Amino acid sequence: MKKNLKVTASNNQRRLDNYLFYQLPNIPKSKIYNMIRRGEIRVNSSRAKPSTRISTNDEIRIPPYLVNTKQHDNKRKYSTEIISNFRKSIIFENSNFLIVNKSSGISSHSGTKQNFGLIDIARSCIKAEDIDLCHRLDKDTSGCIVISKNKLFLSHFNKLLKQRLVGKTYIAILCGNLKKSFTINKSLSSTYVKQNKRSILSSYGKQAYSEFFPIKQYKNLTLTRVKISTGKLHQIRAHAFINGTPILNDKKYGYKIKEHGNFDEFRRLALHSQEINFFDKKGAEFAFTSTPDQAFQLFLDNFHQI
């Protein structure tokens, strides 16, 4: 690996941090951020911010001690079970993207507490040069997630997200009895509470819009359909908490066993990305649906017995 990276046309106007995450998959994201802030990583010999947009032919200076770091660990080995489960989770695939039904319990990307994420598995399985996440789902949220196979589609999808032209529908089990639909349009900003990152109400935050539609109720729980047009950190979870109806098993956002009940047979976060739809660059519409995992589906099937 060279000391400098030259930005190709396919990475034009990409954020510096996202570019480096892909180029340096073996380096923790926290370390990359620290190197940028300390000026160890520079763009055209100048200091930059993680959010800096890089351009074609820009020179990205990499610290000398990273020269021998493997740029892409595509040969990383995963168990047969992991590979098999990933391939089974693919709902759709073409030359530009694939749709995966992500399992609860696996992160979208690797982190300090996660050695690998969905995107790492995808890069080891899919034959394409530029495999990237188009958006993210929380570790414990399951369902539809879009993975790009080239930078042109990634750029197109990012534009759709900014224009709020990606339709996302979730199903969630909320604690409490919802009698009617409601909408929350509250700005959220991320912060750390007891070393855990979460979203809170903030007039200085970014707009987040969520619509909640009750489907059916049993005792103190309500199966709910949720539609969002924005995608902020923990948006649905935070908005459900703000409404006083936290998502079942979401201990980060208000769920307490003493208040809402203990369900030993169902311990995962009760949130699933059920549908996603969007248009490609040629104007063709794509719509995909994913089914919840066996544990979630069994809980739903026995909902009337709770």
35: domain CATH number? 3.10.290.10
Q: pLDDT averaged over the chain? A: 90
Instruction: For residue 244, tell me if it sits in a domain.
Output: yes
If you compute the radius of gyration of the chain from its CA atoms, what whole number of angstroms results?
20
Residues serving a catalytic function are: 138
Residue 92: pLDDT above 80? yes
Q: What pLDDT digit, counting tens, does each position of 244-285 carry?
A: 999 999 999 999 998 888 888 899 999 999 999 999 999 999
Q: Which of 129, 147, 162 is the last residue of a domain?
A: 162
Q: Which of 108, 137, 162 is the last residue of a domain?
A: 162
Q: Which two tokens stand for residue 241?
A: 């908490």
The distance from CA 82 to its chain's CA centroid, rounded to whole angstroms, is 19
The residue range of the domain holding 295 is 167-305
Q: Are 30 and 154 in the same domain?
A: no
Q: Are 119 and 137 in the same domain?
A: yes
- What CA–CA distance (Å, rounded) separates 119 from 133? 7
The distance from CA 8 to its chain's CA centroid, rounded to whole angstroms, is 25
Q: Which of 127, 142, 162 is the last residue of a domain?
A: 162
CB 53 within 8 Å of CB 12: no
3-class SS of residue 210: strand
- CATH number for 210: 3.30.2350.10
Q: Are 96 and 182 in the same domain?
A: no
Q: What pLDDT digit, counting tens, does each position of 224-250 carry?
A: 999 999 999 999 999 999 999 999 999
Provide the number of structural domains found in the chain.
Answer: 3
Say if strands 167-175 and 271-279 run parallel, antiparallel, or are unpaired.
antiparallel
Q: Are 21 and 129 in the same domain?
A: no
- What CA–CA distance (Å, rounded) separates 281 from 97? 12
Instruction: For residue 74, tell me if it sits in a domain.
Output: no
Q: Are 49 and 108 in the same domain?
A: no
Angle at CA 143, nearest 5°, toward 202 and 25? Answer: 75
Q: What are the Cα distances from residue 258, in Å, to 222, 240, 263?
A: 18, 18, 11
Contacts of 260 (CB under 8 A, 6+ apart): 175, 220, 246, 248
Q: Are 189 and 202 in the same domain?
A: yes
Q: What pLDDT digit, counting tens, does each position of 110-123 carry?
A: 765 667 899 999 99
